[in-house]
Amino acid sequence: NLNIIAVTPQGNKPGVRTGNVGALPVSHPAGNSDGIVTATVINPTATTGAKYEVFFSDNNGEIVWNLRNTATNQVILTNQPQVDDVEAVRTQPIVDGVQVKVAGPAPGVKDWDIPAGTRRFTWAGGADGLGFEGFNGAIGWASPASVFGGVDQNQIVSAATLKNVLLVLANVSDGSVNYDPQFAQDGSDPNVSFGYRFLRGASLAPQQPQFAPYILNPSGGYAYQAFERNVPLAAYDVDDPENPRRLAVAFLENNQPGGLVDGKWWPGNFQEYDNTAGSGPREWLFILDADYSETPNPTYQQELIGNVDMPIMYWLTVARRGPVPFSPGGTGEDQFLILAGKINTVNDVFEFQTPAVVRSDELTKQDLDKINVFPNPYYAKNPSETS
């Protein structure tokens, strides 16, 4: 049986004024993370009236948070772990009458958007086979060195430096073709990029006769082949939308009977091709956290899986969304935006102001003046009664 005990909290003592129980406003004066900090008054009689700041530090590779009273400069909480959901967690510490909770987004791709034109990519048909965190499994913060080489992706491009990336599609007017699409490779379309091309199965004989001209380096692994104007899109870092930075790109092809080795990045129609199958095209696009250039970087002209110095930020295993073109109305018509999860970093600071507890003789006098004493025992028609 439940034994229900009713508890009535005492009010403030005479002469004391406190703030209310509840959430405090929190500001984010430094950093650009998507983190969430909540500060909730639990015990109004213990608050100090001071401003507090939540700041972050790196504790052996884990980003932890700390709490400082800025009035005294005292750090009162250190090395606190972040939570996944501030609404679901109830166990965070309470200090100076306030419970503070800190959450950060998961690292990697947070979301995607179509800022202009039509969506031309899909995760269907097996394009989601690597199970990445973004675009239903078909776009991820990853690289061949991390997925197949066992290297921590933070060593390639750290989660703290991920960028929002805008893909601006060049004009490829005929979407009915899966092999050797026609687009401007003479520089007349500014959205066609020079790309580093790699090939899986390059040490094998050409698995289709038409593949032969594109096997230039018959080595093992993901062998480097060429640097040419061969990618019908441009990638931009748009963290500062007013100053977009064009990024270097690379891609893989697969020398298999079901491949599409034509020296160009052009993913197959999802209705016909599984873009992650070992026997499929594996037309995989890589976005580098490196400035775009039409002069190759020798560091990137190496076998791909073993190259930890190639700063691959995002890996796209997407297929085309049917027999669709790119930007059929003109170059740049179709755009695709990759949104990064901006984790809390050592550059982020959150602040909140707590209410002060006020005590004074004047307030005590005011409170005592409110006390009316009635006789005990009580007799009717006491002259102190007003009605």
Note the pLDDT tens digit of each residue in 244-296. Answer: 999 999 999 999 999 999 999 999 999 999 999 999 999 999 999 999 999 99
State the pLDDT confidence band at 1, using cuts at 50, 70 and 90: confident
At 107 the pLDDT is 94
Phi first, then psi, for residue 140 (nearest 5°) are -150, 160
Angle at 137 between CA 131 and CA 139, to 5 degrees: 110
| pLDDT score, position 90 | 82
Give the pLDDT mean for 107-129: 98
Is residue 103 within 8 Å of 35, Cβ to Cβ? yes
**328 contacts 120 by C-beta, under 8 angstroms:** no
Which of 11-20, 65-74, 105-114 is predicted with the least confidence, judged by mean pLDDT?
A: 11-20
Best-predicted range by mean pLDDT (1-5, 199-203, 365-369): 199-203
Q: How confident is the model at residue 55 (pLDDT cuts 50, 70, 90)?
A: very high
What sign does the dihedral 148-153-155-156 (CA atoms) show? positive
What pLDDT shows up at residue 8?
A: 72
Does the structure show a pLDDT above 80 at 19? no
Residue 209 DSSP label: G
Do 215 and 201 meet the contact criterion of CB atoms below 8 Å apart?
A: no
Per-residue pLDDT at 2: 78
Q: What percent of the chain has pLDDT over 90?
A: 81
Q: How far apart are CA 34 and CA 339, in angstroms?
A: 11
Rounded mean pLDDT of 120-147? 99
**Residue 138: pLDDT over 80:** yes
52 has pLDDT over 70 = yes
At a CB cut-off of 8 Å and minimum separation 6, what does 264 contact?
180, 181, 183, 230, 231, 232
Mean pLDDT of 300-310: 98
The predicted pLDDT at position 336 comes to 99
CA-based Rg of the chain, rounded to a whole angstrom? 31
What is the per-residue pLDDT for 364? Answer: 61
**Mean pLDDT for the stretch of residues 287-307:** 98
Q: How far apart are CA 71 and CA 73, in angstroms?
A: 6
Model confidence at 375, pLDDT cuts 50, 70, 90, reads low
pLDDT at 79: 97
Mean pLDDT of 186-203: 99
Question: b/e per residue, 142-164, with b = 16+ CB within 10 A?
Answer: bbbbbeeeebebeebbbbbebbb
Tokens 């005492």 correspond to what residue? 10
| pLDDT, position 224 | 99
Q: Mean pLDDT for the chain? A: 93
Higher-confidence residue of 60 and 192: namely 192
Per mean pLDDT, which range of 118-122, 169-173, 240-244, 366-370 is the poorest?
A: 366-370
Q: Tens digits of per-residue pLDDT, 84-99?
A: 888 888 889 999 999 9
Tokens at residue 268, please? 């197959």
CA pair distance 313, 178, nearest whole angstrom? 27
User: What is the pLDDT, as a whole number, of residue 15?
Assistant: 59
pLDDT at 223 over 80: yes
pLDDT bucket at 382, cuts 50 / 70 / 90? low
Q: Alpha-carbon distance 276 to 315, whole Å? A: 12
Residue 217's nearest CA partner among 300, 109, 301 is 301
Report the pLDDT averaged over residues 22-29.
Answer: 96
Q: What are phi and psi of 309, to 5 degrees?
A: -95, 5
Torsion of CA 142, 145, 150, 155, to 10 degrees: -70
Which alpha helices (DSSP H) does the chain contain, by range?
144-147, 153-156, 361-369
